[in-house]
A and B are shown apart, each in its own frame.
Chain A
Amino acid sequence: EDKVVQSPLSLVVHEGDTVTLNCSYEVTNFRSLLWYKQEKKAPTFLFMLTSSGIEKKSGRLSSILDKKELFSILNITATQTGDSAIYLCAARYGKLTFGQGTILTVHP
């Protein structure tokens, strides 16, 4: 059965810290790995990764995929209170299979 595991499940940091969120997956016929941010209701898209070793960046956020070891990481540098959210990782073949999420709390 398809499985996605995220770690840590929760993380509390102070503004300015750098965080690394982990995601490992076992998905048959894997196609892509997606990261979403969920603050209140709808998850909002961050990154989609299909190739190993190619880092994607958007401002202070970056992500990379390792298809050999079946994992991905999401880095957030210089964290801000507005980064507080649940970060969801999902592996795709047809449907998305989500991990449990990492709850990030950034204190001032």
Chain B
Amino acid sequence: DTGVSQDPRHKITKRGQNVTFRCDPISEHNRLYWYRQTLGQGPEFLTYFQNEAQLEKSRLLSDRFSAERPKGSFSTLEIQRTEQGDSAMYLCASSPEGTVNEKLFFGSGTQLSVL
């Protein structure tokens, strides 16, 4: 069990650029979640997958955000035309849904800074 892995750990970009983050969940975890966290706030839900199916997407999420989990393993989160308000920590989590141990395990996050 190597834990949830996120890449990169830090990303600095200029406003208007596109960025993509990757998340590798704990192997055999069928659910994968993306959250965003800003300073002083709890994690805010973005979207989640069961295997390759995207089950829910936050209504707060603009069309500039898209996430995929094409083979039900790793996932990518893309932000197009970044804005300064996108600066945040992006957290990925996975869970073994359908078991008694359905807690979410979090990765260390990707810290995005938009200049």
Contacts and interface: CB of A to CB of B under 8 A. Distances in A.
Contact of B33 (A6, A88, A95, A99): A95
B56 to A, nearest CB: 6
Given A32-B102, A41-B89, A98 B107 contact: no
A60 B36 CA distance: 30
Interface in A49-88: 88
Contact of A101 (B41, B45, B106): B41
A80 B44 CA distance: 29
Size class of B's contact patch? 20 to 34
Given A32-B102, A45-B103, A94-B55, A88 B109 contact: no
A104 interface: no
Interface of B: 4, 33, 35, 40-45, 48, 55-56, 89, 91, 102-109
Size class of A's contact patch? 20 to 34
B103 A101 contact: no
Interface of A: 4, 6, 32, 34, 36, 41-45, 48, 88, 90, 92, 94-101
Contacts of B33: 95-96
A96 B45 contact: yes
Contacts of B44: 98
B56 A42 contact: no
